[in-house]
Amino acid sequence: MLILDFDRQGLFQAAGPETIALANRLWQKDIQTLGPWNRIHATRFDDTGNTWVWQPEQYSKGPAVFICGHCTSTMDVAWHFIETRQFDIWDSVIAVEQTAGRGQRKRQWISPAGNIHASWLWPLPEFDEALGTDWSSLISLIVGFVLTQVFKSLNVPVRIKWPNDLLVNNRKFGGILVERRADHIVVGTGINVNYSPEDHLMREEFAVPATHLSDQGYEMSPLYLWMTLVEKGKSLFEKLIQSATPDEFIRMIDTQMAWIGKKVMLRQTNTDIFEAVILGLAKDGGLRIKKGNMEKVIYSGSIIP
């Protein structure tokens, strides 16, 4: 765990424990809980001796978590560290605030201090044609499933809204964005910890209303929660890939999806809104629906109950 006390022009600004603690009371709690912090030379990033980071005195091994104060987007920062070979599998970057966070279809993701804005490098599951283990079209769903399982271990009853949103009590509190370049997969994760847009501020009428964990009665701090998601998520992913086939996974995740067997309103790109029943997931991750007497599989669209 390292607070980045150096600048990368156009990406992020230098930060320290004190400035981060002043940004939000939940970050202040994390900084105090994990401290004291020591300022050290960042040889991982620069061997000139001019680059510094802050590291907790009780430094634990495991995937690295880079902490930014302000950045454009944690996705951009993660890709920078991948391209400069300073990121290993399961390493992640979390920011106190983003100025240009993005969600699906390049929509803006509101990123105030206190919420989780993070991106992490996932491994690419091996493809075995003989065993039929092609996970390539299921990555976003795997992430949703893994995060759902971690939240349930924290007694938060999470459901997955196809294809990449996290719900609690039928309200959205988290979103997932997967970007792949060559053999690298970066998973962007936004979690509303203590803030969510009010219903009238949502980007459009056809959207599930938002919420945040604090509003639902779950008091958590962003850095501690992120460390838990990374540690437990890594373990769950490795266990899943080793013990299940993609077909078995689809049967497992079907039980975690929102509104299976229920009537919903659905809108696809450039089409009218229509009513359908959600049947479950197809083998390739598409959504199986029944519209009237016709069953079909869709691969994009917005859903509200």
Q: What CATH class has 263-304?
A: mainly beta
**Unique residue bearing structure tokens 């809980």:** 33
Mean pLDDT over 85-101 rounds to: 92
Angstrom distance (rounded) from CA 8 to CA 85 = 15
Q: How confident is the model at residue 141 (pLDDT cuts 50, 70, 90)?
A: very high
pLDDT of 120 higher than 90 = yes
Q: Which of 133-137, 144-148, 159-163 is least confident? A: 133-137
Q: What is the pLDDT of residue 18?
A: 96
Q: What is the pLDDT of residue 205?
A: 62
Q: Which of 132-136, 168-172, 201-205 is least confident? A: 201-205
Domain 2-254: give its CATH superfamily: Bira Bifunctional Protein; Domain 2 (3.30.930.10)
Q: What is the pLDDT of residue 207?
A: 80
Instruction: Please tell me the pTM assigned to this model.
Output: 0.91
Mean pLDDT over 282-301 rounds to: 93
Mean pLDDT over 172-194 rounds to: 94
* Domain map (residue ranges) of the chain: 2-254, 263-304
Q: How confident is the model at residue 59 (pLDDT cuts 50, 70, 90)?
A: confident
Mean pLDDT over 291-300 rounds to: 93
Residue type, 233: G
